[in-house]
């Protein structure tokens, strides 16, 4: 069954000098309005114990434009400024719902420079996009076509740290589910092998950051030697940002290709619920874990499975996938990270990663069958195995061996 979704299409564009100046002014005004509204809401809450709504912030924005100090806010399109207030309202909603931390101020150097235009603030005609306060359309590089007959409802313009300009067009798109299949796969994320599949296949980690580490180190050394606040330091910062952008682009491209392949070939995908934030506390592995981008990998799997009618199962983070024998269900007492192959008491010899992927798949199939999550349970004093592990053992026995 086809489904209609809101989908963003991101393109790079090259603004004229006038357009770049107008967008830069807009970015600065958006940041100022967001920070000033956040300051007012914080003062009202901690000083008077009252909340300021979006309507009140919008009215305050109108008054700010009438003052001599902030009259320049009226020179840019009002829509991105109103959208900034809506984003702040959403941030506070997430905070009060305990889904996020307290909203933070936007920094000129560290925050992403962006502005959001709704339908009333841009013109879409004959495949050309013209923003408010501009006389010419943006010079967009159409790397892929928009859905047939689709028109953007929202346009977000941004500039990254490397000085590249992007336009993200939100459109209505129709997603056709992928053909049904009976295949299922378990995925074990790692560092040496980015992912190991329950089929026995190991996909090597491209290590994008390591490949450009020498170039990145040189750019960062040059940046550290420049005087703060100088033009040369600004140029060196852009050079370092371009190296980071190159790494991020290649990593994202690789992950898109990998996740698309996994979703197309399998009806059921099973992964572990890894706590990447805690794993990054390991100083020796933090750099390699960040380069592997496990969180981005999971995010892509989640929305692609939802789009194409696949089932994504996430098993509990405490499930002993590496130490659990896929043949008999026995859990090894200790299995250090440097042990890549181990022998169970039953005589089965396991590759650590392949065994983990197979036990993850077995646990996922058991979860799918019983409709419950895999949670750590107290082991039985008689058998030394939990009920979940026994159920996983039965499911593992049904997986064909390679």
Q: Looking at residue 399, what is its pLDDT?
A: 41
Same domain? For 54 and 159 the reply is yes
Q: Looking at residue 346, what is its pLDDT?
A: 85
Residue 396 placed within a domain: no
Check: CB of residue 168 under 8 Å from CB of residue 8. yes
Q: How far is CA 48 from the centre of its chain?
A: 37
Same domain? For 131 and 223 the reply is no
Same domain? For 280 and 247 the reply is yes
Strand (E) or helix (H) holding 308 = none
Same domain? For 37 and 126 the reply is yes
Same domain? For 170 and 188 the reply is no
Residue 377 placed within a domain: no
Q: Looking at residue 170, what is its pLDDT?
A: 96
Same domain? For 106 and 216 the reply is no
Residue 384 placed within a domain: no
Known catalytic residues are 188, 272, 353
Long-range contacts of 139-144 (CB under 8 A, 24+ apart): 139/13, 139/14, 139/15, 139/16, 140/11, 140/12, 140/13, 140/167, 141/11, 141/12, 141/13, 141/14, 142/11, 143/11, 143/12, 144/9
Same domain? For 51 and 139 the reply is yes
Give residue 337's domain range.
184-370
Same domain? For 157 and 74 the reply is yes
Q: Cα(266)–Cα(261) distance, rounded to whole angstroms?
A: 9
pLDDT tens, residue order, the chain (402 aa): 788 889 999 999 999 999 999 999 999 999 999 999 999 999 998 888 888 999 999 999 999 999 999 999 999 999 999 999 999 999 999 999 999 999 999 998 888 899 999 999 999 998 999 999 999 999 999 999 998 888 999 999 999 999 999 999 999 999 888 999 999 999 999 988 999 999 999 999 999 999 999 999 999 999 999 999 899 999 999 999 999 999 999 999 999 999 999 999 999 999 998 888 888 888 888 889 899 999 999 999 999 999 999 999 999 888 888 888 888 888 887 888 888 887 887 888 888 889 999 999 999 988 877 665 444 333 333 334 333 333 344 344 444 433
Share in percent of the chain as helix, strand, coil (round to 5): 45, 20, 35
Same domain? For 196 and 305 the reply is yes
Give the torsion through C-alpha atoms of 354, 357, 358, 364, to 10 deg.
Answer: 180
Could you say which of 175, 194, 209 is where a domain stops?
175
Could you say which of 141, 175, 209 is where a domain stops?
175
Sequence-ordered strand ranges (E) for 328-387: 341-343, 349-351
Q: Looking at residue 390, what is its pLDDT?
A: 38
Residue 279 placed within a domain: yes
Same domain? For 138 and 220 the reply is no
Could you say which of 175, 206, 236 is where a domain stops?
175
**Three-state DSSP state, 9:** strand
Summarised one tens digit per residue, pLDDT across range 222-260 is 999 999 989 999 999 999 999 999 999 999 999 999 999
Q: Looking at residue 397, what is its pLDDT?
A: 41
Closest CA to 2 of 169, 177, 192, 237: 177
Question: Domains in the chain: how many in total?
Answer: 2
Residue 375 placed within a domain: no
Q: Looking at residue 27, what is its pLDDT?
A: 97
Closest CA to 268 of 150, 378, 364, 152: 364
Residue 401 placed within a domain: no
Same domain? For 191 and 64 the reply is no
- CA 307, 308, 311, 316 torsion-angle sign: negative
Residue 331 is given by DSSP the state B
Closest CA to 271 of 317, 237, 233: 317
Q: Cα(140)–Cα(128) distance, rounded to whole angstroms?
A: 8
Q: Looking at residue 188, what is its pLDDT?
A: 92
Residue 391 placed within a domain: no
Q: Looking at residue 372, what is its pLDDT?
A: 55
Same domain? For 151 and 222 the reply is no
Q: Looking at residue 401, what is its pLDDT?
A: 38
Summarised one tens digit per residue, pLDDT across range 322-371 is 888 888 888 887 888 888 887 887 888 888 889 999 999 999 988 877 66
Residue 148 placed within a domain: yes
Check: CB of residue 196 under 8 Å from CB of residue 354. yes
Q: Looking at residue 352, what is its pLDDT?
A: 87
């Amino acid at each position: 069954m086809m489904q209609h979704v809101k989908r963003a299409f991101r393109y790079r564009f090259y603004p004229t000098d006038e357009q770049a100046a107008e967008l830069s002014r807009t970015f600065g005004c958006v940041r100022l309005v967001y920070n000033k509204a956040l300051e007012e809401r914080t003062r009202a809450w901690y000083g008077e114990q009252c909340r300021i709504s979006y309507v009140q912030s919008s009215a305050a924005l109108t008054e700010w434009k009438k003052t001599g100090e902030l009259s320049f806010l009226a020179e840019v399109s009002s829509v991105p400024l109103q959208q900034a207030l809506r984003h702040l309202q959403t941030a506070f909603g997430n905070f009060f719902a305990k889904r996020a931390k307290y909203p933070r101020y936007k920094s000129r150097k560290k925050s992403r420079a962006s502005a959001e235009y709704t339908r009333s603030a841009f013109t879409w005609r004959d495949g050309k996009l013209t923003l408010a306060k501009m006389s010419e359309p943006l010079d967009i590089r159409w790397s892929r076509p928009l859905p047939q007959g689709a028109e953007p409802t929202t346009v977000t313009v941004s500039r990254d740290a490397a000085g590249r300009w992007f336009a993200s067009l939100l459109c209505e798109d129709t997603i056709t589910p992928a053909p049904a299949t009976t295949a299922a796969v378990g995925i074990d994320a790692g560092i040496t092998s980015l992912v190991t599949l329950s089929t026995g296949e190991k996909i090597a980690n491209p290590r994008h950051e390591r490949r450009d580490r020498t170039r990145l180190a040189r750019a960062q050394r040059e940046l550290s030697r420049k005087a703060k606040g100088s033009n040369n330091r600004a140029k060196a910062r852009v050079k370092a940002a371009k190296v980071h952008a190159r790494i991020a682009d290649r990593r994202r491209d690789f992950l898109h290709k990998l996740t698309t392949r996994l979703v197309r070939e399998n009806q059921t995908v099973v992964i572990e619920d890894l706590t990447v934030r805690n794993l990054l506390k390991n100083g020796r592995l933090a750099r390699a874990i960040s380069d592997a981008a496990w969180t981005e990998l999971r995010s892509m799997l989640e929305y692609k499975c939802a789009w194409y009618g696949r089932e994504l199962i996430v098993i509990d983070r405490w499930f002993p996938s590496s130490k659990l024998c896929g043949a008999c269900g026995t859990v090894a007492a200790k299995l250090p990270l440097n042990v890549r192959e181990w022998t169970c008491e039953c005589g089965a010899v396991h590759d650590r990663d392949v065994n983990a992927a197979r036990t993850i798949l077995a646990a996922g199939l058991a979860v799918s069958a019983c409709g419950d999550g895999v949670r750590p349970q107290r082991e039985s004093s008689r058998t030394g195995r939990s009920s979940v592990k026994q159920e996983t053992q039965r499911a593992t026995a049904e997986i064909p061996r390679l």
